[in-house]
Each structure stands twice: as structure tokens, then as C-alpha cells.
């Protein structure tokens, strides 16, 4: 049916009868009606003003203003931008203390270590990577070329299993999350988004096929090395002076990064040598992470990231987007006896001063460290760090980046790169480690 022209008809959904033009309506409004309308509007304004005054602090958390008190500000911020920690070692605690028996582990009670459900809630945690770590093999057992069987793939599968079993055991608290959007969805549901990360290339069994199968099981980052070199890359070790094997990435290590980019597995540069990190930053098409590393300029330790490597991080030309998630391990934070909350905040600030604040996050290493900084004793203490940085002038936008938004951006970036590579038909990599003699 064609639309009617100037017929005076009113649309059916608005009722029957002739319409009134604006001049007719104005003539029909009596003074009493106008007084009623103006009075009602004035009353609504007054009520809104009173509500704004009475509930200003609560409203401020949602419209952008935080309370002046740092502790209250931290709590308010974390209500809407909870912590997403890049590295928690709860699965290895389950292995060492409970032989990976999920039925024996009560996460709703006061669990030994740094992590349990009550403390996660108190610390306002919205998500974390469950590190499915197993240690480096003995050098002699692995062999000079890392080709001897060491059971590390079996052990990694057991760690993936215990992490997933604990996530499954507490469905009201945890939700397995595999993408940046799934993290957001879990947080919206009030759950702790749970991701998996493999902490070392030695856990891959020298195989790109194993990498792909870990991805299928839900793993979303692989740390290129732990404290040992492997078939893919050089480690920074734990003490100064470790002799490089590959002078950075091995040929297979370069292929590994290409395949990680293709499938959407985050490249994690914690534990790597400086040269490995430099080469990986140059090679990776996708954003990368340091899941649990601090600043070498603040405290000189091989595990920390030097300024010249931090300077390669960014979104400008010739830089790579990344997030450096600050580690709480006292040995990486400060001299003996001096590691505390303020020192950790110093690491956060220094890294941010080089990379920019959108490239820093939190990777505590809880349950993987024997001691803790004063003031950051367990996962319930995250708000204290946010309060300290708020005192130092960090804005709500900068703090929400630190608590999780920066990681989500990097993860989403890696997902986009994988989608793009797959959409143009990039084939999987089937390279075989040249030292293998069984194929």
C-alpha cells in the first residue's frame, strides 16, 4: 500500500481520529496543564539531584568517577574491571600436595598456598591462567639434543586434566574460557574465567603436532622456554651466565611461532633469553605476552625484562603489541627482605614508563613461589596493589587496563591474526625436528 499524503490521517498504531498540528496543541494547553507539567518536571529534577547526592559514590563507579579513598576506589574499580592474572600455579600445587586427586582438594575451604575460592572472591578476581607447568628434565636425561623421552608430554596432559577437573568441580565459580569474548561472558556471569597456559617449550616433546593438540584441549599460551633451553629456543636460565644453544630461536622455534600465530596460541616470552625475546617480537605477526615477568631496571635479575626489549613493545611501526604481566616472586622484585607491595608497584610503573600503560598487566605466579611480597600475600590482596597505584595517580582507565583490559586486547589481537591467516588458506606447519631419528 502506498503511503498517504497530507490526508490528516493518523498512523493506526497511534490511535484513531484526526491529528492536531502543533499550533492546535499549544492552543488547547490550559495554564493549569502547563503548571502541572512544569511542576512534575521540577519534582523529577529535585528527586534526581537528591539521589545523585546520596548515592554519588555508588553512581561514580559506573559513570567514571572513583572515590577519593584509595581502598574504596580499588574495590569500586574491581567491581567492574576485575583482576585477570596471567599466571597462577594452582595445578602444580595439586600435583605436589594431592597427587592430582581433585576429590581431595577443597577449594571452598582454607587451602594451603595462595589460592582458594574465598580468597579469589575477596581479591575480586575475574579470571586467571591456570599454569599447566611441569619442570625441565634433567640435562642428562633429556640428552644433548633434547630427544630422549622424559615423560613431559604425559605429565603436561595430567596437568591439563587436573586443571580442567577442578574447573569442572566448581561450576558455580569457574568457567573454562578459550577466547577473549568467553572471558568477558564468564565475568558477566559472576564467574572466574579459567584459561590454560603451558609453561615451557620442553613440554611440547619437540613436536608441532603436540602444540596443536594442546590448543584443542584449551591451552591458549605456550611459554617458549622455562629455565632450560629446548629444541625451540634459548632460556634466560635462573642465574646469570647460562650459555646459549641457539643464540635465540632455533629454526624449529621460528616455525613454532608461525604455527602459534596461525592457530591463535599466544606466544609467551617469560623465561626466555633476551635474544629469544627480541627475535620473537620481530617474527610474530600477532601480539605476544610476558605472562609473569618484571623489570630488570628495577631489580637486576635474568628473569626480568630489560629496557631495550621493553622498548620494542608498542603499537607503533617496528614494534609489537604486547602485555608484560608483572611477577610477584620476591627474588625478582627486590633484594632479600625488601620485596613488598610498593616494590611491585615500582615494577609496574617502570614497565609502563617504557611501554606505555596499555602494555602492562598482572602475572603474580601465586602457588608457584615459595615466599611472597609483604602486602601481597595471596590472591585476596590484589586490591591493595590497585589502591597503591591509584595513590600514585593512575586513572580508572589505566587501572582497568592493568587489571585485565590490556590482556583482553592482546588476546583478541592474536585471535584476529589467526582468523586472517586461516582465511587466506595458510597451511599448518609439519616441520620435524632435525635431530629426531624416528621419522
Is the predicted pLDDT of residue 18 greater than 90, yes or no?
A: no
pLDDT of residue 41: 66
Report the distance separating Cα 426 and Cα 424, nearest Å. Answer: 6
Considering the domain boundaries, does residue 429 fall inside one?
A: no
Is the predicted pLDDT of residue 261 greater than 90, yes or no?
A: yes
Considering the domain boundaries, does residue 61 fall inside one?
A: no
Report the distance separating Cα 186 and Cα 398, nearest Å. Answer: 22
- Please tell me which residue in 87, 114, 301, 359 is annotated as part of the active site: 87
Q: Which three cell numbers stand for residue 42?
A: 521540577
Considering the domain boundaries, does residue 329 fall inside one?
A: yes
- Please tell me which residue in 114, 229, 292, 301 is annotated as part of the active site: 292
Q: Is 87 labeled as catalytic in the residue annotation?
A: yes
Q: Is 114 labeled as catalytic in the residue annotation?
A: no
pLDDT of residue 25: 43
3-state secondary structure 310-350: HCCECCCCCCECEEEEECCCHHHHCCCCCCEHHHHHHHHHH
pLDDT of residue 21: 47
SS3 state at 206 = coil
Q: Is 299 labeled as catalytic in the residue annotation?
A: no
At residue 40 the predicted structure's pLDDT band, cuts being 50, 70 and 90, is low
Considering the domain boundaries, does residue 175 fall inside one?
A: yes
- Please tell me which residue in 114, 271, 301, 359 is annotated as part of the active site: 271
pLDDT (mean) for 346-357:
98
Report the distance separating Cα 82 and Cα 125, nearest Å. Answer: 5
- Please tell me which residue in 114, 116, 202, 226 is annotated as part of the active site: 226
Short-list 203, 178, 242, 90, CA closest to 411 = 178
Quote the domain boundaries for residue 192. 69-423
Cβ 224 vs Cβ 269: under 8 Å: yes
- Please tell me which residue in 155, 199, 259, 346 is annotated as part of the active site: 199
Is the predicted pLDDT of residue 429 greater than 60, yes or no?
A: yes
Is the predicted pLDDT of residue 347 greater than 90, yes or no?
A: yes
Rg (C-alpha) for the chain, rounded Å, is: 27
Mean pLDDT of the chain: 90
SS3 state at 198 = strand
Q: Which residues contact 291 (CB under 8 A, 6 or more apart)?
A: 86, 87, 129, 131, 197, 199, 221, 223, 268, 270, 325, 363
pLDDT of residue 7: 37
Q: Model's pTM, two decimal places?
A: 0.87
Report the distance separating Cα 286 and Cα 102, nearest Å. Answer: 35
Considering the domain boundaries, does residue 337 fall inside one?
A: yes
In terms of DSSP bridges, do strands 192-198 and 174-176 run parallel, antiparallel, or are they unpaired? parallel
pLDDT of residue 53: 43
Q: Is 199 labeled as catalytic in the residue annotation?
A: yes
At residue 65 the predicted structure's pLDDT band, cuts being 50, 70 and 90, is confident
pLDDT of residue 4: 38
Q: Is 16 labeled as catalytic in the residue annotation?
A: no
Considering the domain boundaries, does residue 232 fall inside one?
A: yes
High-pLDDT (> 90) share of the chain, %:
85
pLDDT of residue 12: 31
pLDDT digits (tens, 9 = 90+) for 191-214: 999 999 999 999 999 999 999 999
Overall number of domains in the chain:
1
Q: Is 139 labeled as catalytic in the residue annotation?
A: no
Q: Which helix (H) or strand (E) holds 174?
A: strand 174-176
Please name every residue paired with 180 in a beta bridge, in sequence order, or none if there are none.
none
Q: Which helix (H) or strand (E) holds 166?
A: helix 152-169
Query: Which runs of consecutive H residues, i.e. helices, occur in 170-241?
Result: 180-188, 208-216
pLDDT of residue 272: 98
CATH at 368: 3.20.20.140
Report the distance separating Cα 280 and Cα 301, nearest Å. Answer: 21
Considering the domain boundaries, does residue 141 fall inside one?
A: yes
Considering the domain boundaries, does residue 158 fall inside one?
A: yes
Q: Is 350 labeled as catalytic in the residue annotation?
A: no
pLDDT digits (tens, 9 = 90+) for 82-129: 999 999 999 999 999 999 999 999 999 999 999 999 999 999 999 999
DSSP conformation letters of 214-227 = HHHTTEEEEES-SS
Q: If you search the block for the grid coordinates 574491581, which residue do you land on?
A: 78
Cβ 87 vs Cβ 93: under 8 Å: no
Amino acid at each position: 500500500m502506498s503511503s498517504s499524503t497530507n490526508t490528516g490521517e493518523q498512523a493506526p498504531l497511534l490511535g484513531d481520529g484526526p491529528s492536531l498540528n502543533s499550533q492546535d496543541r499549544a492552543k488547547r494547553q490550559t495554564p493549569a496543564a502547563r503548571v502541572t507539567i512544569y511542576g512534575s518536571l521540577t519534582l523529577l529534577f529535585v528527586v534526581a539531584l537528591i539521589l545523585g547526592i546520596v548515592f554519588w559514590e555508588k553512581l561514580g563507579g559506573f559513570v567514571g568517577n572513583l572515590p577519593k579513598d584509595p581502598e574504596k576506589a580499588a574495590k569500586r574499580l574491581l567491581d567492574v574491571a576485575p583482576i585477570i592474572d596471567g599466571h597462577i600455579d594452582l595445578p602444580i600445587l595439586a600435583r605436589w600436595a594431592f597427587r592430582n586427586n581433585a576429590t581431595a582438594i577443597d577449594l571452598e575451604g582454607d587451602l594451603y598456598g595462595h589460592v582458594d575460592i574465598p580468597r579469589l572472591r575477596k581479591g575480586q578476581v575475574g579470571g586467571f591462567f591456570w599454569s599447566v607447568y611441569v619442570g625441565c628434565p634433567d640435562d642428562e636425561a633429556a640428552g644433548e639434543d633434547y630427544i630422549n623421552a622424559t615423560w613431559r608430554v604425559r605429565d603436561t596432559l595430567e596437568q591439563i586434566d587436573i586443571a580442567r577437573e577442578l574447573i569442572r568441580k566448581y561450576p558455580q565459580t569457574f568457567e573454562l574460557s578459550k577466547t577473549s569474548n568467553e572471558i568477558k561472558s564468564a565475568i558477566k556471569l559472576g564467574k572466574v574465567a579459567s584459561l590454560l597456559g603451558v609453561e615451557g617449550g620442553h613440554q611440547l616433546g619437540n613436536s608441532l603436532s603436540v602444540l596443536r593438540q594442546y590448543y584443542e584441549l584449551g591451552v591458549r599460551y605456550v611459554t617458549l622456554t622455562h629455565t632450560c633451553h629446548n629444541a625451540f629456543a634459548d632460556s634466560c636460565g635462573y642465574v646469570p651466565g647460562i650459555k646459549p644453544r641457539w643464540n635465540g630461536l632455533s629454526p624449529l622455534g621460528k616455525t613454532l611461532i608461525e604455527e602459534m600465530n596461525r592457530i591463535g596460541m599466544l606466544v609467551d616470552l617469560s623465561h626466555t633469553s633476551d635474544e629469544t625475546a627480541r627475535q620473537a617480537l620481530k617474527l610474530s605477526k600477532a601480539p605476544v605476552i610476558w605472562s609473569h615477568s618484571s623489570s630488570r631496571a628495577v631489580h637486576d635479575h635474568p628473569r626480568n625484562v630489560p629496557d631495550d626489549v621493553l622498548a620494542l613493545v608498542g603499537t607503533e611501526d617496528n614494534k609489537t603489541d604486547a602485555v608484560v604481566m608483572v611477577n610477584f616472586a620476591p627474588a625478582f622484585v627486590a633484594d632479600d627482605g625488601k620485596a613488598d607491595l610498593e616494590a611491585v608497584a615500582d615494577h609496574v610503573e617502570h614497565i609502563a614508563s617504557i611501554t606505555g600503560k596499555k602494555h602492562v598487566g598482572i602475572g603474580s605466579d601465586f602457588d608457584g613461589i615459595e615466599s611472597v611480597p609483604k602486602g601481597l600475600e595471596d590472591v585476596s590482596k590484589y586490591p591493595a596493589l590497585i589502591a597503591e597505584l591509584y595513590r600514585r595517580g593512575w586513572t580508572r582507565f589505566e587501572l582497568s587496563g592493568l587489571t585485565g583490559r590490556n590482556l583482553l586486547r592482546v588476546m583478541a589481537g592474536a585471535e584476529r591474526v589467526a582468523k586472517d591467516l586461516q582465511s587466506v588458506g595458510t597451511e599448518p606447519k609439519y616441520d620435524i625436528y632435525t635431530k629426531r631419528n624416528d621419522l
